[in-house]
Structure 1
Amino acid sequence: MKVNTSLEHIAPSYRNLALLDDKQRIISIYTDRWINYPEVSSIRAVVRAVYEMPRNIQAQCILVSAQSGMGKTSLFTRIESDIDTLRKRDQDHGGCISFSMPAEPTFSAFEDVVGEALGVPIGKIRNGRIPNTFSRLAHLRNLRIIMIDEVHNLLNANRGDQRKSLALLRAMSGPPLSLSIIAFGIDDAENAIRDDDQLERRFEIYNLPDWREDEKFRSFLAAYESILPLRKRSELSRSDKVKFLLRSSKGITGNIVKRITRGAVWAILDRKEAIDMECLEKAAFIPPYIE
């Protein structure tokens, strides 16, 4: 297909998508994309720094908190990929296991998800002591980091199970294993670790704030626009569009991305090839399927 419009507004690696037919472009728009921005970039860098640190008696741990919809789970997945890349570059680097805290986090359920992440049952944990099975496997695999998503679910546990789970995390991050725990959760996730003073002191807390009208948000919008296969500039960072997106999304990343992706599809369906205000307004509704 020959397209006469300049595609310089699209990042070079995505320009070929703008040459596809409408249906293929719409499929591309709905495909999850990763956009790096300063807050997530700095958290990724911090985790890599922790991964590269020599083992200390008490490991450095990190808690990433954010409102639901701010992209913490996408960041979790991206950091998993970062660690895997570092591991492949140097086999002497430590290993990593990851899992999500169960929605109903009984201590038995916690034991089970740790065992599933390792690939073998770890045995029953008593008095916060690490089972020999877990210790041996951690040593054999040179385990360095444990990543836990949805750590705020600990708040759903009864008092006894919560204390047992925190004691286990404290034991994992202390000697002799000294594993760094990288935890993710919604805003009240900090409360999940506060009941254990020793454990809390090991955590450094990072927050993904809601978006507001500033240069960071405009840069994020410009970056997102650069990966959309639209054949004309949308100028999403223009003041009226910035204000509309913040107002309609309440500053939540997931809501913003939904408006932009749907708006991009409407731009194709309406033969505009750029997201205008009408497209953003219509993006409150799911665009129809096209044959």
Structure 2
Amino acid sequence: MIELPHLAPGAAALANGPNHTRIRAIRSDRWVGFDRARRVLRHLDALCDHPPTTRPPGLAIYGHSGMGKTMLVEKFKRDHPPTINHSTGVESMPVLAITLTSRPTERRIYGQLLMAMGASINERLTLMELEIRTVLLLKSNNVRVLVFDEVHNLLAGTPREQRVILQLLRYLSNVIKASLVCLGVSEARDAIAGDTQLARRLDQFVLPRWKANEEFQELVTAILRSLPLRVPSG
């Protein structure tokens, strides 16, 4: 086996494999840790460990497209996967995440949440029946953190429609006593501001654009160490 000190151990193991395996690994999504992302994950982990409360804390993450918000959520979900208590047969799903559609409605959000929990959807159900079924499943699955990505899509609706959805998010957080995490571009801040009570309970974290500094160098170095290249990249 060739010694490749310029690579992380996992990448070095792949680098000694055939080309098609290395190419597939390079094209695949991967988590690359850096200081800013680790700070966000520590905050998210704290929310997951927070005991159930009437007004649970939450987090809003803002950043331009391509700054890694969705990758953070995927990493967070992998760190807190669903588990099954084999003695009781009860499944726990600590983190439940959905992406808001281009023009979200109450029925759409309930439907997305049910799908994310693997439940079937009956289109004949009334809005109240959808609400009851969703809340019961969220509670039975012991959901601790509700994640809503692309929150800026709320702005596609009328002011009244925006308020209805924001009140729904706050209601779900309150009724199952779970933390709420909202992600979106900077315009998402304007959307969330439409519900003062919700905005007050969400800590804010901004992912600014990258600059040519030590933090960016750390990210580039981490990426290069994760790529199974046999020869160091210049």
Query: Could you say which residue in structure 1 is the equivalent of 2:223?
Result: 224
Report the CA distance shift for 1:157/1:114 in structure 2 as closer, same or farther (over 3 A): farther
Query: Could you say which residue in structure 2 is the equivalent of 1:77?
Result: 74
Query: Could you say which residue in structure 1 is the equivalent of 2:165?
Result: 165
- Given the alignment, which residue of 57, 66, 69 partners 2:63? 66
* Gaps in structure 1 of 5+ consecutive residues: 235-274, 276-291
Q: Deviations over 1:136-163 (max 9, x none)?
A: 3233222222111111111111222211
Q: Deviations over 1:242-291 (max 9, x none)?
A: xxxxxxxxxxxxxxxxxxxxxxxxxxxxxxxxx4xxxxxxxxxxxxxxxx
Report the CA distance shift for 1:34/1:49 in structure 2 as closer, same or farther (over 3 A): same
Q: TM-score, normalised to structure 2's length?
A: 0.85
Mean Cα displacement is larger for which, 207-216 or 93-102?
A: 93-102
Shift of residue 220, structure 1, vs aligned partner: 1.3
Q: Aligned partners of 2:84, 2:204: CA distance in 1, in Å?
A: 28
Identity %: 28
Q: Aligned partners of 2:109, 2:230: CA distance in 1, in Å?
A: 50
Counterpart contact for 1:44–1:79, Cα < 8 Å: yes
Report the CA distance shift for 1:178/1:216 in structure 2 as closer, same or farther (over 3 A): same
Counterpart contact for 2:62–2:205, Cα < 8 Å: yes
Q: Deviations over 1:212-231 (max 9, x none)?
A: 11111111111111122222
- Given the alignment, which residue of 13, 38, 44 partners 1:41? 38
Report the CA distance shift for 1:23/1:58 in structure 2 as closer, same or farther (over 3 A): same
Counterpart contact for 2:106–2:168, Cα < 8 Å: no
Q: Aligned partners of 1:172, 1:104: CA distance in 2, in Å?
A: 19
Question: Equivalent residue of 1:62, what SS?
Answer: strand
* Gaps in structure 2 of 5+ consecutive residues: none
| Amino acid of the structure 2 residue aligned with 1:14 | A
Q: Aligned partners of 1:124, 1:60: CA distance in 2, in Å?
A: 31
Question: Greater CA radius of gyration, 1 or 2?
Answer: 1
Report the CA distance shift for 1:125/1:96 in structure 2 as closer, same or farther (over 3 A): farther
Report the CA distance shift for 1:37/1:124 in structure 2 as closer, same or farther (over 3 A): farther
Question: Equivalent residue of 1:56, what SS?
Answer: coil
Mean Cα displacement is larger for which, 111-120 or 60-69?
A: 111-120
Counterpart contact for 1:76–1:184, Cα < 8 Å: no
Report the CA distance shift for 1:157/1:124 in structure 2 as closer, same or farther (over 3 A): farther
Displacement over 6 Å in runs of 4+: 91-94
Q: CA RMSD in A?
A: 2.7
Shift of residue 78, structure 1, vs aligned partner: 0.8
Structure with greater contact order relative to length (CA < 8 Å, sep ≥ 6)? 2
| Amino acid of the structure 1 residue aligned with 2:55 | Q
1:103-114 alignment to 2 at 5 Å? 103-114=102-113
